[in-house]
Amino acid sequence: MTLSTPTRWAGAVRASARTGRRPRPRTDRSALGAFAVLTAPMVFGLGLFKYVAIGWSLLLSLGEARGTLDPTRWVGLDNYRFLLADPGFRDSLLTVVLFTLFIVPVTFAASLALAVLVNQVRRGRAFFRTAFLVPAAVSYVAAALVWRMALFNGLPSGIANTLGGLLGLDPVPWIATQHPPLYWIVLITLRLWLQVGLYMVLFLAGLQAIPPQLYEAAAIDGASGWRMFRHITLPMLRNTSVAVLLLMTIAGFQAFDEFYNVFSGGLGGSHTAPVHPPLVYLYDIALGDQNYGLGSAGAFLLTLLIVAVTLLQGRITGLGRKD
């Protein structure tokens, strides 16, 4: 006669009680094996194409590598010293800092304003949320080409010049005009159109998490809309605002597609463009001049700058602080 399952477990418990040890459940080795098989390709790919690539790039930055991914000789920190003394690289850093200082507050204000407006819509909120989010799924390259070839192409038939003509304005070569630098209008409007919807959705999620009882109590006390926005909405959106600011800042320093495709569209563009961020400048060095050592050093310098700015911004805004 065989014991049933409850009887076997009861016997095991009594035996463990006599010996003073708890019964240990058997590990399902088949589940662990399946987990290892399923995750091994991801772990291998992540290690090979990310961490190994980063390590090799660090080695390239410490050597001379022209036209080859194998350093011909080690130069130590000479690539870093050269870039820090290079006027072109320093100009690119100044360009991206100015671009970030302008685009971050403008995008922040525009996305927050749109989120507040959409949150007040009772019907069709999903439609407006989707409509504003669609540009975030558009390719930067495609959008930059539309801005360059249709909206701001500088021809009388261009959309911007056509609208200006209705107001009695003469056609303007938007991208070619440097005094005043009208190309900044092209770059700023392109970045706004591509990113405002994404950050609007983040703010909208934060707004919908605010308890409506707070607004109801404030309305009973006679608070105006501005006072409720200032004393309820903004404080309750603090964590969301900090996260959005960090994302915007990182995206600002990583600017590449709009500058590259609006101005150049090919290798060597950083030499002819009126302004260029570090990624465009380093792209031209690494792939145009095929100086992979210098390009890798510039990539690490830019990464260190982004990390430093992000840490400083997180400290100023109180990232992770509980209050």
Domain contains 138: yes
Q: Are 128 and 219 spatial neighbours (Cβ–Cβ below 8 Å)? A: no
Q: Give pTM, 2 decimals.
A: 0.80
What CA–CA distance (Å, rounded) separates 298 from 286? 10
Asked if residue 74 belongs to a domain, the reply is no
Total domains, the chain: 1
Distance of CA 201 to the CA centre of its chain: 15
- pLDDT at site 6: 47
Backbone angles phi, psi at 291, to 5 degrees: -100, 85
CATH of the domain at 295: 1.10.3720.10
φ, ψ of residue 66 in degrees (nearest 5): -110, 115
Predicted confidence at residue 101, as pLDDT, reads 94
Is 21 a domain residue?
A: no
Low-confidence ranges of the chain (pLDDT < 70): 1-28, 265-272, 319-323
pLDDT at 106: 96
The confidence score (pLDDT) of residue 245 equals 94
pLDDT value for 102 = 94
> Which domain, by its residues, includes 245?
88-317
Look at residue 52 in the predicted model and tell me its pLDDT.
84
Question: 79 in a domain, yes or no?
Answer: no
In a domain, 7, yes or no: no
Say what the pLDDT of residue 199 is: 96
Alpha helices in 86-124 (DSSP H): 87-119
pLDDT at residue 318, as a whole number: 75
| CB distance 290 to 67 below 8 Å | yes
Q: Does a structural domain hold residue 73?
A: no
3-state secondary structure of 66: strand
Is 104 part of any domain?
yes
Q: Write down the pLDDT at residue 11.
A: 55
Query: Could you tell me the two tokens for 316?
Result: 């100023």
